[in-house]
Structure 1
Amino acid sequence: MTKQITRQQLSAALVERHGQERQQHLYTASVGIAGLGGLGSNIAVQLTRLGIGYLILADCDRVEISNLNRQSYRLCDIGRPKPEALTEQLLQINPYLCYEPHFLKLTPQNIPEIFAGCNIICEAFDDPEQKAMLTETVLQRLPQAKLIVCSGMAGAGSANAITTSRRLNRFYLCGDGTADIAADGSLLAPRVSVCAAHAATMVMRLALGFTTP
């Protein structure tokens, strides 16, 4: 089916929904996603549907059966590297955007190189230590990038508690700020997806020139 749809046709469809000027801003955005689980995989799908021009996708995990309750993967993806499986899905949504998958563990040493060209970076890790490491590295070594961090989407609480706030000049936080997987013990698709949508919305707004949530 994708071979029957040209780049011009798909672009025209996006422009019809988003407007020419807005779509051009979205096309020129370069966004990095660190972690491709429940947050990152859903963020990537939404940004692809927006027509974000360049996505850098990084994760060191393979798809497991336990991921299927909230992550954008399928039974046929089990065992595959997440960047590879996700990129395949994104190409089926829009094959004319640029995707750069990295199947590796992100470290303070490789983050500056991998995300060097990004205007915006989304932190989408589950592990608090990884969150802190990526946040510190981006804020200290990638001064051109705005950072969106997700924290607080565990459990079955109200989706209305999930918000986006601007904490520093180029640091944004999505989540309820309190719901912790270690304390609650559960990650359910609706709340995770809501938080991912907050992050994707903030990416959209930053790409369009807005600085407030």
Structure 2
Amino acid sequence: MIEILHPHDDAARITELRSHDLVWVDGWESALEELQTLREYGSAAAGSGGAGPISFDEADLDASSRYVVYPWRRTVVRLPDADLFYRLKTTRNRFLITDDEQRRWESSPIAVAGLSVGGSVLNTCVLTGARTLRIADPDVLGPSNLNRLSGSVCDLGVRKTTLAARRALELDPYVQLSILPGGYTAENADGFLCGAAVVVEEMDDLRRKIELRVQARERRVPVVMVTDDGDGVIVDVERFDLDPEYPLLHGRAEALSGVSPEEFDDPARRVELAGMIVGDDITARMKHSLGEVGRTIPSWPQLGTAATLAGAVGAMLARRISCGDNVSSGRAYLRLAELA
């Protein structure tokens, strides 16, 4: 989706690009002052990305530079190389996230299936320094997504995977992305799940929700799910890495074992089945809204407040699990309404 060009090895390509009608941004203008400040603090404050002094030649910044081409923006950005950029990007994480945790988080493969709420999770993962990402979603951006998904009316009809990838690459062009534009399926489970530190599951398809967990449990990959509940969030963690016998969705998936394909495809029945997984401990307004699905509204009601909160919670859990924190299987609730 992007080109990352070396100023010397790719000089001919850079010269060619200069003949095009493109916007050129020099990221070194702001990066240089910040890197100089970090270098003055010494190696102990060199940044969250790793130990050792920050090294670059101010007289020849191209030696530590890359030119990043963003075709959808018709823009070329000159940036510090991957290591220097990461130190800059994560320097304010330092001590809130230890150096060892930041290194682990940078290299931990995080898989996100479903990019509505999952898009918020993915974005927050990249903000905090995740760099190895797998994303899956078969849908395109529609107007009704814009109440909870960061996007633009200019992007209507564009695949959600494309939009999520663009956003991640604009935050950090050095992220490694594996993209499944057809969404998660049993057929691509190996590539999506194997070796993942955490999978964040945010799909609407109930059959695929269960199938993903079956496959994740076989591969001992932990699963995190964050579900909208009005302005709050329901948080589910399944540590299949620690307990490969842990029941799917804390045992709630058993209620779906006898459901026919036709029932899964019926919109009203599908919401009823989703309610069986979510349970009765939801807000009164959510209960009322779910009762209107198939009557006055077409699908599961969601708010941007909950999607944003879910992004922060899902990303935090993915990071903590990846870094070896003691995060247990189970369900929890975050209810913003109770703060008032």
TM-score by length of 2: 0.54
2:255 maps to: none
Q: Is the 8 Å Cα contact of residues 148 and 307 (structure 2) preserved in structure 1?
A: yes
Q: Is the 8 A contact 1:41 1:71 kept in 2?
A: yes
Structure 2 CA distance, aligned partners of 1:33 and 1:56?
A: 6
Residue 229 (structure 2) aligns with: 154
2:298 equivalent to 1:186: no
Residue number in structure 2 paired with 1:25: 104
Matched residue of 1:33: which SS?
strand
Which residue is 1:134 aligned to? 212
Asked if residue 112 in structure 1 is aligned to residue 190 in structure 2, the reply is: yes
Match of 1:10 among 85, 92, 110: 85
Q: How does 1:27-176 map to 2 (within 5 A)?
A: 27-37=106-116, 39-140=117-218, 142-143=219-220, 145-151=221-227, 153-156=228-231, 159=232, 162=233, 164=235, 166=237, 168-170=239-241
Kindly report structure 1 stretches of 4+ aligned residues shifted beyond 3 Å.
162-173, 176-185
Q: Which amino acid aligns with 1:211?
A: N
Identity of aligned residues (%): 20
Which runs of no fewer than 5 residues in structure 1 stay unpaired? none
1:4 positional shift: 2.9
Write the distance in 1 (CA, Å) between the matches of 2:156 and 2:196.
29
Question: Do the aligned partners of residues 24 and 73 (structure 1) sit closer, same or farther apart at CA in structure 2, a change above 3 Å counting?
Answer: same
Q: Deviations over 1:57-114 (max 9, x none)?
A: 1011111111111012221221111111211111111101111111113222221233
Which whole-Å CA distance do the structure 2 matches of 1:204 and 1:122 have between them?
11
Q: How does 1:185-204 map to 2 (within 5 A)?
A: 186-204=301-319
Measure the CA separation in 1 of the matches of 2:140 and 2:229. Answer: 22
> 1:72 touches 1:86 (CA, 8 Å); kept in 2?
no
Query: C-alpha separation between the residues in 2 aligned to 1:163 and 1:35?
Result: 16
Query: Which amino acid counterpart does residue 320 of structure 2 have in structure 1?
Result: R
Structure showing greater Rg: 2
What do the CA deviations read for 1:109-133 (whole angstroms, capped 9, x no partner)?
2212332231111101133333222
**1:31 Cα deviation (Å)?**
0.5
What amino acid maps onto 2:317 in structure 1? M
1:120 and 1:203 in contact (8 A); partners too:
yes
How far 1:5 sits from its partner (Å)? 2.6
Aligned residue-pair number = 204
What RMSD in Å do the two structures reach over aligned CA positions? 2.6
* Alpha-carbon separation, structure 2, partners of 1:163 and 1:82: 23
CA distance in 1, matches of 2:318, 2:145: 24
Separation (CA, whole Å) in 2 of partners of 1:28 and 1:60? 26
* Residues 14 and 23 in structure 1, CA contact (< 8 A), matched pair in contact too: no
Supply the distance in 2 between the matched residues of 1:53 and 1:136 (Cα, whole angstroms).
Answer: 26
Higher RCO (Cα < 8 Å, 6 or more apart) = 1
SS state at 2:147 partner: coil
* Offset at residue 21 of structure 1 (A): 2.3
- State the SS of the aligned residue for 1:56: strand
Counterpart AA for 2:222: K
Evaluate the alpha carbon distance shift between residue 147 and residue 9 of structure 1 in structure 2; reply closer, same or farther with a 3 A threshold.
same
CA distance in 1, matches of 2:236, 2:193: 23
What's the offset of the Cα at 1:200?
0.8
- TM-score scaled by length of structure 1: 0.83
